[in-house]
Amino acid sequence: MQNLFSHTHEPDYVSPLDAKPYEDSVVIDVPQDQAFDGFTDAVHLWWPVAELSVFGEGSHVAILRDHLVEESEDGDEMVWAEIQEWDSPGFIRLHWTLGSEELGTSDVEIHFDVADGGLTRVTIRCERALSSESDSDNVFICDWALILARYARFMGGAAKLD
């Protein structure tokens, strides 16, 4: 009975993860409910899988049950985020893990706010916890600016405001 209690190896200290806040928004020329549905129900049509994907081209992103997932062409599934709050048509909160909290997590808020003239402002806010492995080339990092741009283009483009 080696390593019982007082002789067990102490785990290595793991320092807390640093976090970096992020916020971006776009105003689109659709009503709030359509903006929400376009983001949630049609995510498979606009998500940039060529640039932001675990499985690559041919995969698709979807909201299934209480999760945001990516499914490969072979049917393999990767859970990207857990849906923590869903308040249609105004708000979604995701706990982003990309299947493993070891590579860092992010709590992502997506707000759909009514703007003047029947437009909708879509705002993404998150605080991305960065692991020591986040500098690696094979770690998936979410480019929220690209995601928001692709979504806006799918919804007809960003509204021009004077």
pLDDT of 129: 56
Q: What is the pLDDT of residues 13-26, one digit of tens each?
A: 444 456 678 899 99
For residue 158, the 8-state DSSP code is: B
Q: What is the pLDDT of residues 28-55, one digit of tens each?
A: 999 999 999 999 999 999 999 998 888 9
Q: What is the CA radius of gyration of the chain?
A: 19
The residue type found at 17 is L
Q: Residue 132: is its pLDDT beyond 70?
A: no
Q: At what angle do helices 144-154 and 32-40 cross, to 10 degrees?
A: 120
pLDDT of 135: 47
Q: In 3-state terms, what secondary structure has residue 75?
A: coil
pLDDT of 119: 95
